[in-house]
């Protein structure tokens, strides 16, 4: 997950009129905008504060449930009125999805062309995957190769969700036709049961495919592993569409269900805060359990005999729900740019408010401009007023048009791949991996007299690291000739303890240890136990030199470095090697991914470690 589990999103293709069209006996279902608000809030806060709102990605599942529900419910209500049309269905989805999406893509590429040109220099394949509706599979393919993944930082990472939605929209006429056929052959309950069973069957795919230590991207982004939420939402939509709901219920039932509704919201909030997407239980059962919880929330919200729908239907929630598609589209391009440009560092307090305000303004503007061309904006019947309204929208949009034109140019001139820029680094990694394999065979145990000591030594240094250290392995051997290095791409802090134990068993774990972990994930929070377990195993008598991390496009660079400073204050034998502080002053040391050092940078990286150890001798 990216950043991974970077991702998310919005039951985006439904307009305010769609929601108003969902009716029970002439009264629209209240509260659906409130549920969309609940979902988009979780996703947005997750993107902004991934170390605090660890489970905000759960909003994705809620949006999938809402999409499945609304497609089934509005389809059945339209068929009852003999107004359902396949052409109308397709055209409505196109009008809702693509104008705003194209506006966002063009303006984003245009702005990034000036502020972060390296990020969008090979953007065309990604844009095509978004527009053609297979971005989730494109991202899975990118993540399969490490060098492709690190080269593919993007402001469009969140659009994997839209890929699954578009695929489901394309599949829906066939699924709906199957439902109609079963309903006519048997009865509507049988058709609903088919979707229920299909959803439960699809729910089993994710835990079945899960295995410890695997890359979660395939499970998180896969259409086959996520479609169950859409199918179960459809089953609920069919069920409610044929059910006559009472407008009143007994006081005791209302109290019990209101209590359960409040409890469900609290459980959702707890999930937003604590359910980290790297936990095994997410893929084994927790994501499915929360999907069921969201189905209950939706069913209770849609029940006109209960007060929850009206409570979730306040003006603020209706506004957020109305513009949730725009908020979804713009949130990651805004957050990514602020993080990439380090604007948050210049204004540590209040920058988040500015980001949210910018997202809201862009969402409102996008809705107005897209509505101008799709007819969603209701103009006055008076020609003069209509012209004035249209002219006002175009005037407001005027500053954006040059950037959008530049975005068209950027996509047209885009390279086909950014991986070619990683060729030199890929070759270096391969050479270093061969060197480390040979090192394991030739490893010489550390002499007993150098395993302990009051001061660190430049002899027999043990190095544990990730891809940053792997890329610099040759340079480290130049300045620390008899060091033992165990470094690997995509390694996170949880692997450090096992590596230290293996080194200890091999007899190569001396009194000086260099650690370079933290590029691929958090060190604190739920991972704090793994970080401290590594430090405790190494013990207070060894001298530990931990290299600070430089990975600006991630959500954990600053929190990891802050946590390392805390660790250094708590553990007297831990010394920080401030790679982040030095490389920030020398961007020429970095490769095109802005994470891994180039040839000049590897020498600087190794020299910094050497000097930090020497200074403590």
| Series of mean pLDDT values for 10-residue runs along the chain (617 residues) | 36 44 54 96 92 92 97 88 80 93 97 91 93 94 62 84 97 96 94 97 96 81 97 96 74 91 97 89 96 97 90 92 95 91 76 93 94 69 73 90 95 77 74 86 74 78 94 94 90 90 92 93 81 93 95 80 95 96 92 85 96 91
Query: What is the predicted pLDDT for the residue at 340?
Result: 82
pLDDT at 238: 96
Q: What is the pTM of this model?
A: 0.83
Give 3-state DSSP helix, strand, coil % of the chain, rounded to 5: 70, 5, 25
Pairing mode, strands 23-24 and 27-28: antiparallel
How high is the pLDDT of residue 28?
A: 65
321: left (phi over 0), alpha (psi -120 to 50) or beta: alpha
DSSP 548: P
Give the list of residues 6+ apart from residue 607 with CB closer than 8 angstroms, or none: 475, 479
Phi, psi (deg, nearest 5) at residue 536: -65, -35
**Rounded CA separation 372/431 (Å):** 57
């Amino acid at each position: 997950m990216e950043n991974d589990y970077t991702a998310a999103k919005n039951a985006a293709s439904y307009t305010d009129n769609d929601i108003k069209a969902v009716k029970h006996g002439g009264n629209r279902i209240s509260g659906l905008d409130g549920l969309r608000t609940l979902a988009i809030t979780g996703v947005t806060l997750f993107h902004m504060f991934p170390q605090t709102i660890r489970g905000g990605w759960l909003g994705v599942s809620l949006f999938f449930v809402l999409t499945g529900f609304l497609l089934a419910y509005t389809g059945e209500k339209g068929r009852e009125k003999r107004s359902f049309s396949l052409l109308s269905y397709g055209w409505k989805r196109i009008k809702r999805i693509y104008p705003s999406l194209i506006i966002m893509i063009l303006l984003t590429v245009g702005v990034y062309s000036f502020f972060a040109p390296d990020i969008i220099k090979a953007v065309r394949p990604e844009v095509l995957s978004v527009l053609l509706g297979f971005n989730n599979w494109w991202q899975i393919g990118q993540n399969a190769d490490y060098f492709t993944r690190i080269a593919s930082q993007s402001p469009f990472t969140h659009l994997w969700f839209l890929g699954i939605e578009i695929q489901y929209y394309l599949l829906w006429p066939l699924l709906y036709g199957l439902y109609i056929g079963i309903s006519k052959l048997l009865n509507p309950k049988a058709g609903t049961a088919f979707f229920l069973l299909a959803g439960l069957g699809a729910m089993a795919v994710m835990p079945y495919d899960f295995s410890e230590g695997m890359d979660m991207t395939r499970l998180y982004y896969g259409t086959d592993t996520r479609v169950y939420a859409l199918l179960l939402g459809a089953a609920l939509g069919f069920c409610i569409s044929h059910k006559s709901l009472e407008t009143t219920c007994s006081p005791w039932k209302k109290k019990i269900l209101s209590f359960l509704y409040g409890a469900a919201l609290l459980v959702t909030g707890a999930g937003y805060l604590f359910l980290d997407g790297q936990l095994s239980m997410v893929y084994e059962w927790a994501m499915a359990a929360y999907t069921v919880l969201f189905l209950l929330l939706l069913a209770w919200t849609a029940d006109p005999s209960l007060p929850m729908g009206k409570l979730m239907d306040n003006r603020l929630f209706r506004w957020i729900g109305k513009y949730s598609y725009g908020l979804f589209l713009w949130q990651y391009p805004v957050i990514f740019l602020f993080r990439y440009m380090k604007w948050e560092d210049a204004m540590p307090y209040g920058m988040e408010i500015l980001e949210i305000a910018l997202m809201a303004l862009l969402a409102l503007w996008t809705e107005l401009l897209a509505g101008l061309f799709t007819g969603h904006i209701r103009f006055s019947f008076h020609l003069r007023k209509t012209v004035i309204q249209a002219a006002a929208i175009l005037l407001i949009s005027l500053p954006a048009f040059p950037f959008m034109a530049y975005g068209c140019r950027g996509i047209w001139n885009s390279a086909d791949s950014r991986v070619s820029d990683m060729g030199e680094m890929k070759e270096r990694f391969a050479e270093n991996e061969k060197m480390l394999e040979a090192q394991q065979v030739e490893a010489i145990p550390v002499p007993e007299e150098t395993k302990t000591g009051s001061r660190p030594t430049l002899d027999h240094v043990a190095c544990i690291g990730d891809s940053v250290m792997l890329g610099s392995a040759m340079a480290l051997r130049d300045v620390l000739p008899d060091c033992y290095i165990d470094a690997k791409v995509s390694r996170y802090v949880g692997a450090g303890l096992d590596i230290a134990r293996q080194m200890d068993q091999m007899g190569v774990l001396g009194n000086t240890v260099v650690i370079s972990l933290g590029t691929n994930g958090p060190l604190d929070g739920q991972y704090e136990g793994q970080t401290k377990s590594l430090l405790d195993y190494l013990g207070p008598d060894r001298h530990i030199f931990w290299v600070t991390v430089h990975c600006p496009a991630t959500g954990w660079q600053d929190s990891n470095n802050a946590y390392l400073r805390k660790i250094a204050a708590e553990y007297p034998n831990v010394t920080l090697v401030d790679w982040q502080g030095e490389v920030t002053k020398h961007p020429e040391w970095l490769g095109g991914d802005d994470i891994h050092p180039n040839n000049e940078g590897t020498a600087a990286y190794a020299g910094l470690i050497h000097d930090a150890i020497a200074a403590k001798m």
